[in-house]
Amino acid sequence: MSILVTGAAGFIGFSLCNKLLEEEDDIYGIDNLNSYYDVKLKEARVSKLREKAKLYNKKFIFIKIDIENKKEIEKLFDEYEFKYVVHLAAQAGVRYSLINPHAYIQSNIVGFLNILEGCRKVKVKNLIFASSSSVYGGNLNMPFKESNGVDHPISLYAATKKSNEIMAHSYSSLYDIPSIGLRFFTVYGPWGRPDMALFLFTNSIIEKKPIKLFNNGKMIRDFTYIADIVESIYLLIKKPPKKDISFDKSNPDPSKSWAPFKVFNIGNSNPIHLMDYVSALENALDIKALIENMPMQPGDVEATYADTSKLERYIGFKPKTNINFGIKKFVEWYKDFYEIL
């Protein structure tokens, strides 16, 4: 299996490559190593992958490329005829989209188009790409189901992720490219992103600084452990979608298509109150947090909750890692990586 993973130096991309190196032989990773967050962490991930490839005697090729660069992406797909593509590179973060919206259009729209064109050229057997639970926007009908409408995004980040789903569907329909969009729900775990809550909270608690709880802590999230995300993606790689000949165009279901295209929620299906999340972190660190309550931020939603029954039926796997276990594993990694006694 010749597999391209974009965003290979990112949190999910790195974690997926780490898994693939245990199972597959021909892994290619690309990333632009931008400075959205600590480049040293991204470089450490790539070094870890190279070490593992050597240990397992596997082929892992990492190339520094920006997906926005049309010519470089064309050259990449000309040189390597990938059979499978997992597209995880993107400009992430809801709040940052309020500060630098153009970065989201360039990376998430222009960059994704370049990847789609590459997939069309080499006729990939399966394209898996990252969407987000944020596409559900202002929807209050929980748990979120793939059959729900996603026409009311409340951040530009969410709008670009919905756009990715629409773009991929059009390519699936036009060029018969099997495509799967994954709506991730608050991913956390070892090697996580420094801009996300668990990382920020851990750093502040250790340094005895207040942690900021938006909406006065009255938030609910379907926190999903990274190993569950990776296992889901791995199983999906080997199960490309087929055309649904029973699709009713006169009564279209948003969760289905006549094209070889699917979207799946990947969440823990067990929403957790933010204060319970903080308590689990306090227990893992054995330090009491200082709390600074903050108002709701633009683009945020109060609650997320994934219905993953569609995913479970398709691959026979259900994300279910307990939050206490997941946070404990993150804290162990954090202390080891940053050499905290």
Q: Is 338 a catalytic residue?
A: no
Q: Is residue 328 classed as helix, strand or coil in its secondary structure?
A: helix
Which contacts of 8-11 are long-range, i.e. CB under 8 A and separated by 24 or more positions?
8/45, 8/46, 8/49, 8/62, 8/88, 9/33, 9/42, 9/43, 9/45, 9/46, 9/62, 10/42, 10/45, 10/88, 10/89, 10/92, 10/193, 11/187, 11/191, 11/192, 11/193, 11/226
Helices (H) and strands (E) in the chain, counts: 12, 13
**Please, which residues have CB within 8 angstroms of residue 102's CB and are 6 or more apart in sequence?**
none
Say how far apart CA 229 and CA 191 lie, in whole Å.
Answer: 14
d(CA 242, CA 258): 9
Which residue among the candidates 136, 157, 171, 188 is catalytic per the annotation?
157
User: What is the C-alpha separation between 134 and 115, in angstroms, rounded?
Assistant: 22
Cβ-contact 300, 94 below 8 angstroms: yes
Give the whole-angstrom CA distance, residue 138 versus residue 296: 14
Beta strand 220-221 with 272-273: parallel, antiparallel or unpaired? antiparallel
Question: What Rg, from alpha-carbon coordinates, does the chain have?
Answer: 19
Dihedral, CA of residue 247, residue 252, residue 257 and residue 258, to nearest 10: 40
Active-site residues, by number, are 157
